[in-house]
Copies of this chain bind each other. A is one copy, B any other.
């Protein structure tokens, strides 16, 4: 691998001259620049990215940290982030938090391999985050709660979403609405549940214990929870699933028992994943404004990186997407 030194030698100039010429500085004559460019080409010279990052103490790249590179993939969020990133000449890499403290994500965070990070991963500990957070290294966390001066939080309004879904069902005439929750430690699921309970209460309805079941945000979990619901004998008239994946699993369970949606039971999900549009029937759900969240995250990063001040907490609103799974 040719280094800048080789180029300098070949072009017959100083190393610094090569650096200036290659980086488009004004102080180099057109003539010398050509010489340098030619030499670089002949040697197939490529600069070593680290060396330059090391010197600049800036990498110009932002990390998007996901719990698992292999999805479930938030393509809208990524789009939001990506558009802003490229518009401002930053680079974006995605890395996985799979593998705990050994994961790529943690390594990049700790070792300052990027200028800023957007974290959308529940499988990375708060400790790692607070530990890496510091002045001049903006970290944005999505949908989680981290107490730290240098961490900025963006949260989807899960409470409102839960409320909205339940309220919609109630307005449609449903009086007995079940809720299938996410995993026990999920902050999101908790808030959706609170929204559900509040809506029920405000409508003067009871959210009976036996109609709040436990799922885990997976299709399989939704399927199992729904089986249990069916086993209980009497069915509610509607089910609000904590997310779409579980709703899909649940619909599968109903289908197997010959329970029709929405004729026999109504179903609402949460997230509005791409699949939601393609289930039979298409799933009514609460859309998370992922694109907006992503774009906002990048905007905040740019502001911080530019030395500006921003708030440390943002909440983005959900939206009800009416399809055909509710009667």
A-side interface residues toward B, CB under 8 Å? Answer: 1, 44, 46-51, 53-54, 59, 61, 64, 68-71, 73, 75-76, 78-79, 82, 86, 89, 91-96, 98-99, 102-104, 107-108, 110-113, 131-132, 134, 274-275, 278-280
Inter-chain contact B69/A92, CB cutoff 8 Å: yes
A72 to B255, CA, bound (A): 29
Inter-chain contact B82/A78, CB cutoff 8 Å: no
- Please give, as numbers and ranges, the residues of chain B lying within 8 Å of A54 by CB-CB distance: 48, 50-51, 54
- Please give, as numbers and ranges, the residues of chain B lying within 8 Å of A275 by CB-CB distance: 274-275, 278
Selected A-B contacts with CB under 8 Å, 13 pairs? A47-B111, A48-B111, A50-B53, A50-B59, A69-B82, A69-B92, A71-B78, A86-B102, A91-B95, A93-B94, A94-B94, A94-B95, A274-B275
Inter-chain contact B79/A49, CB cutoff 8 Å: no
Inter-chain contact A113/B49, CB cutoff 8 Å: yes
- Please give, as numbers and ranges, the residues of chain B lying within 8 Å of A76 by CB-CB distance: 70
Inter-chain contact A78/B86, CB cutoff 8 Å: no
- Please give, as numbers and ranges, the residues of chain B lying within 8 Å of A96 by CB-CB distance: 82, 92
A49-B107, A82-B96, A86-B102 are known contacts; what are 4 more A-B pairs with Cβ within 8 Å?
A70-B78, A71-B78, A82-B98, A92-B95
A107 to B99, CA, bound (A): 27
Inter-chain contact B113/A50, CB cutoff 8 Å: yes
- Please give, as numbers and ranges, the residues of chain B lying within 8 Å of A134 by CB-CB distance: 1
- Please give, as numbers and ranges, the residues of chain B lying within 8 Å of A46 by CB-CB distance: 110-112, 132
A86 to B78, CA, bound (A): 23
A99 to B46, CA, bound (A): 20
Q: Given the interface contacts A91-B107, A93-B94, A95-B92, does A131 sit within 8 Å of B70 by beta carbon?
A: no
- Please give, as numbers and ranges, the residues of chain B lying within 8 Å of A280 by CB-CB distance: 278, 280
A128 to B218, CA, bound (A): 41
Shortest Cβ distance from A101 into chain B, in angstroms?
A: 13
